Structure 1
Amino acid sequence: MNFADQDPALRPLLDRVLSADDRARIEPLLTELGALAAGEMDRQAALADANPPRLRSYAPDGERVDEIEYHPAHDRLAEIAFERFGLAAMSHRPGVHGRPDRAPHTVKYALSYLYVQSEFGMACPLSMTDSAARVLRLFDPDRYAAEIAALASTDPAVRATGAMFMTEKQGGTDVGRTETVATPADGGAHWTLTGKKWFASNPGADVILTLARVPGQGEGTRGLGMFLVPRLRPDGTRNAVRIDRLKDKLGSRSIASGEVTLDGAYATPVGELTSGFRQMAEMLNVSRLSNAMRATALMRRAVRESVAHTRQREVFGTPLFDQPLMRVTLLPMILDAEAALGLVLEAAARLDDADAGDATAAGLVRVLTPLAKYTVCKRARTVTGEAMEIRGGNGYIEDWVNPRLLRDAHLGSIWEGSSNVIALDVLRCLRRQAAHRTLAATYGGRAGALPLPAGKRLAARWEELAARGDRLLAGPADEQEMRIGRYADELTRTVMATLLLEQAAYECEGPSPNGRTLLAAHAYLHLLADPDALPRTALHHLDALADGGCRVPVAVAEGAA
């Protein structure tokens, strides 16, 4: 098996969104990683999940060591991610896979999407390492050139991992209540940090970015500075970062999360200390896009498992896949996984543009990221749950992958901000930047320009959504908060519908037109307008939608409009 070969949407999407050079360069990586994900990685991931990390607080002589011991399966999965494929490195330096420049975010997320279909947990330290390198590059590149190089290395002898310690017990989402205190030391050459962090993923990281209160700087988030806390002090001794215990988590069990005490820990400032919260928000926003990518990967794996099971499982003499109710169950799962992948790659492409200085793209990324995190992570919980039920009793048994997919899916809606927190962040984008208008202008314009009748309907839907956003913002503040969740979900789904239709237009052109994605787009639009709809043509051609093994005539797809 090969997860890349079994994905009907991935390669056609990359054909459209990547340059010819990038597309040619990624192809052998897709083939190799797709095979690993379906084979060795899947076996190692099951082992790592069943053998979670353990904390060794003390050496035999009583010395405090705070070391985390991992199963060899974890180490092999880390080797594949960090070293063989350079998933944390490729956005930060040239040379990875022979590239003359840094890889686009679209390439990184496409490969990471394949990786996560087998191993979800490792994507946490991957994301934080990638994000830490990004923050240091953006805000303090000269001071931290060595740390950036280590975070972006694929050499096992020198590579470093990153972490973000933000959550405190009394604060949680309310970062302004952070109590960790920074104190200048050695005449201001460095600082010491004292406080407790309640949720610290990858607590044994080499490079930790955290927030601490700077004396005299003010209250709330204004008073917070960002600091780099290394695992080792400059003299090579262990820093005063005490891992109090590891969390016994529902999912993401292959990697460690813990409670940490900073006991006068050596630290150095990152960028301007008055900008700590803004700098951490940059790290958080990119990590939220990674969350959406991981949720998309979980959905795709769940869909693949469900399609394979229903094709071989016969009930009353008929394969489950061919039974009407099962087809109605599978169709929205297939559509949501495909639509989510389009959204993740779109956000990644706009992030590439924003990094190149495009202000409009930066505004889009600012709202697309929480939208994707909100809707895609919520939907992954439903899709993985449906997949477990589809497999029946076996789906509830740990011998199969379904329990792990379900456990991991629930983390996406909590990690880096729960759904309500994310919805309020979308509301903030609407209030401050009129982001609903930006979305409507961008994607409504793109929909209206498509040579497909459905494009005009989508453009009209965008006009209506923009007007609804205006009405929402005109209401009382408490009503805005009560309504934003549902409105954010509709914004996200309409972006995804637009991207599906855009991809469909691309695939319907050229020397070998295929109406498969157009059929998927029409079915998605029907269900968006009416959740009780029965897209009969799509249900009839479910084989093509499930794995792309057969083509759909464009005329057939057009008739499904």
Structure 2
Amino acid sequence: MNFADRDPALRPLLDRVLSADDRARVEPLLAELGELAAGELDRQAALADANPPQLVQYAPDGTRIDEIAFHPAHDRAAAIAYERFGLAAMSHRPGVHGWPTKVPHTVKYALSYLYVQSEFGMACPLSMTDSAARILRLFDPERYAAEIAALSSTDPEIRATGAMFMTEKQGGTDVGRTETVATDQGTHWTLTGKKWFASNPSADVVLTLARVPGQGDGTRGLGMFLVPRLRPDGTRNAIRIDRLKDKLGSKSIASGEVTLDEAYATPVGQLTDGFRQMAEMVNVSRLSNAMRATALMRRAVRESIDHTRERHVFGKPLFDQPLMRATLLPMIIDAEAALHLVVEAAARLTEADAGDAAARELVRVLTPLAKHTLCKRARSVTGEAMEIRGGNGYIEDWVNPRLLRDAHLGSIWEGSSNVIALDVLRCMRRQAAHRTLADTYGDRVAETRERWERLRTKGDALLELPPEEQEMRIGRYADELTRAVMETLLYEQGAHEARTTGNGRALLVARTCTALLDDPDTPPRTALDHLAELAEGGHIPLETAEEPAAHARAAHA
């Protein structure tokens, strides 16, 4: 099996959004990683999940060492990600896989999407390593040239991993309550405090926030610091790992509670910009969360399709049972729509990094929208997939329990759904983000123009409400915005494939998306009749793909 070959949307989407040269370069990587994800990587991921990291606090002679012992399966999965495919390196330097420039974010997220369909946990340190290199490049590239080189290396002898220590017990989401204190020692700083949730606590390069004396209260008083695992003289830094968390999911990687006991640190960028710099790191990590949710949905859909085709009930395959088809259809549509949104956000991030101010404003709101909606939807899709498999879906011999456990993480890390929805509201208040979205996507395709006008008006009305009312309503409105973006992107893909290949499959996906948005209780008959092509890929006549539009108009009549 090959996960890239079994994905009906991935290659056609990349055909449209990538240049011809980039598309040619990525093809052998898709083929190789798709096969690994469906085979060796999947086996290693299961082993790593069943054998979580162990904290070794003391050496035999009693010396405090605070090391983490990983199962060999973890190390092999890490080598595939960091070394063979350079997933943490490719955004930061030319030359990875022969690219003459930095690899576009679209390529990175497409490859990561295949990887995460088997190994979810590793995507956390991968994302933090990638994000740490990004922050150092953006805000202090000369001082940290060596660290950037190590974080973006694929050489197993020199590559480094990154981490972000931000959460404190008393603060959580309220970062302004951070109590870790920074002390200026002249040639460097020392940090003293406790971090309550620190993933990848044995990282080589840690970025964290600490309170700078005299700089003020709240987030304005926070500076960003780099805390290395080793001091410049090679001795172990004063980072004490107090214990590892016993997590519901993401078991292949370590998360712990950490004490900084006058730990050696150096400032990153301007100390007065600490929170703003960390927000940049968090926003990129949120897009990674959305990608991971999309990968989990795709794997869950794949498992459900394979199971229902093989399982016979009352004389015919489950896949052919009417209620099962109605159950599978929205899962298939949402997984495909999610992929389009992640790739769109990644493309806009590439443009923003090239200096496009409009793209930067757009990706600022696309990222929280994607995380808010996709991470929530992944929880329900993976849960539905578990139920579809029946009793076996609840047994650890199968992948479903791991998918479900991991899916719950996306809606928590880097901000819970409510926190993310409030971030969308912040974007609306500060930059009329709902209007930016309507201006960007409202005229792209005729089929969604009316929906965007309604959403523009609804967003304007929401901002006229008292602040408490705005906050109460933003969650549902954020979902509406996200789904309108995905619907628009699906129509763009449908039009492209209709024009270039004469295949109506992608157009039927878009039409079905509209029908389910308008009337979720009545799945369109045409889509149900062509579920095999929607699930696996295949040719659908263009005239057939138009039929759900008539269905939707009839439903509104």
When normalised by structure 2's length, the TM-score is: 0.98
Aligned to 1:503: 493
How far did 1:47 drift?
0.2
Q: How does 1:141-540 map to 2 (within 5 A)?
A: 141-185=141-185, 188-448=186-446, 455=447, 458-510=448-500, 512-540=501-529
How far did 1:62 drift?
0.5
Aligned to 2:137: 137
Q: Does 1:560 align with 2:553?
A: no
Considering only aligned residues, what root-mean-square deviation do their CA atoms show, in Å? 0.5
How far did 1:513 drift?
1.1
How far did 1:445 drift?
1.8
Deviations 1:529-555 (A, max 9, x none): 11112211000000000010x200111
Deviations 1:100-133 (A, max 9, x none): 1100000000000000000000000000000000
**SS of structure 2 residue aligned to 1:445:** coil
| Among 530, 533, 553, the residue aligned to 1:544 | 533
CA distance in 2, matches of 1:277, 1:534: 46
**SS of structure 1 residue aligned to 2:195:** strand
Deviations 1:291-310 (A, max 9, x none): 00000000000000000000
CA distance in 1, matches of 2:469, 2:127: 35
Given residue 222 of structure 1, which amino acid in structure 2 is its aligned partner?
R
Deviations 1:434-473 (A, max 9, x none): 000000000002124xxxxxx2xx1111011010000000
**SS of structure 2 residue aligned to 1:446:** coil
Aligned to 2:76: 76
CA distance in 1, matches of 2:168, 2:445: 44
How far did 1:53 drift?
0.1
- Matched-pair contact (CA < 8 Å) for 2:92–2:152: yes
CA distance in 1, matches of 2:547, 2:315: 32
Q: How does 1:82-97 map to 2 (within 5 A)?
A: 82-97=82-97
**SS of structure 1 residue aligned to 2:184:** strand
CA distance in 1, matches of 2:231, 2:480: 49
**SS of structure 1 residue aligned to 2:444:** helix
**SS of structure 2 residue aligned to 1:193:** strand
**SS of structure 2 residue aligned to 1:209:** strand
Given residue 397 of structure 1, which amino acid in structure 2 is its aligned partner?
I
- Matched-pair contact (CA < 8 Å) for 2:365–2:427: yes
CA distance in 2, matches of 1:434, 1:505: 29
**SS of structure 2 residue aligned to 1:157:** coil
CA distance in 1, matches of 2:209, 2:51: 32
Given residue 121 of structure 2, which amino acid in structure 1 is its aligned partner?
G
CA distance in 2, matches of 1:429, 1:90: 29
How far did 1:339 drift?
0.1
How far did 1:559 drift?
2.4
Given residue 333 of structure 1, which amino acid in structure 2 is its aligned partner?
M
**SS of structure 1 residue aligned to 2:179:** coil
CA distance in 2, matches of 1:482, 1:543: 40
Aligned to 2:40: 40
CA distance in 1, matches of 2:544, 2:301: 24
CA distance in 1, matches of 2:522, 2:163: 45
CA distance in 2, matches of 1:469, 1:121: 37
CA distance in 1, matches of 2:18, 2:98: 17
Given residue 145 of structure 1, which amino acid in structure 2 is its aligned partner?
A
CA distance in 2, matches of 1:126, 1:357: 25
**SS of structure 1 residue aligned to 2:142:** coil
- Matched-pair contact (CA < 8 Å) for 2:348–2:359: yes
Same amino acid, percent of matched pairs: 81
CA distance in 1, matches of 2:523, 2:419: 34
Runs of 4+ with deviation above 2 angstroms: none
Structure 1 stretches lacking a partner, 5+ long: 449-454
- Matched-pair contact (CA < 8 Å) for 2:58–2:65: yes
CA distance in 1, matches of 2:460, 2:547: 35
CA distance in 2, matches of 1:435, 1:96: 35
Given residue 489 of structure 1, which amino acid in structure 2 is its aligned partner?
D
Given residue 505 of structure 1, which amino acid in structure 2 is its aligned partner?
A
CA distance in 2, matches of 1:524, 1:509: 20
Aligned to 1:451: none
Deviations 1:59-118 (A, max 9, x none): 000000000000000000000000000000000011111111100000000000000000
Aligned to 2:555: none
How far did 1:558 drift?
1.5
Deviations 1:253-291 (A, max 9, x none): 000000000000000000000000000000000000000
- Matched-pair contact (CA < 8 Å) for 2:304–2:388: yes
Structure 2 stretches lacking a partner, 5+ long: 550-557
- Matched-pair contact (CA < 8 Å) for 2:93–2:101: yes
Aligned to 1:452: none
Q: How does 1:101-140 map to 2 (within 5 A)?
A: 101-140=101-140
Given residue 98 of structure 2, which amino acid in structure 1 is its aligned partner?
G
Given residue 217 of structure 2, which amino acid in structure 1 is its aligned partner?
E
CA distance in 1, matches of 2:30, 2:521: 37
**SS of structure 2 residue aligned to 1:509:** helix
**SS of structure 2 residue aligned to 1:532:** coil
Given residue 254 of structure 1, which amino acid in structure 2 is its aligned partner?
S
Deviations 1:21-48 (A, max 9, x none): 0000000000000000000000000000
**SS of structure 1 residue aligned to 2:445:** helix
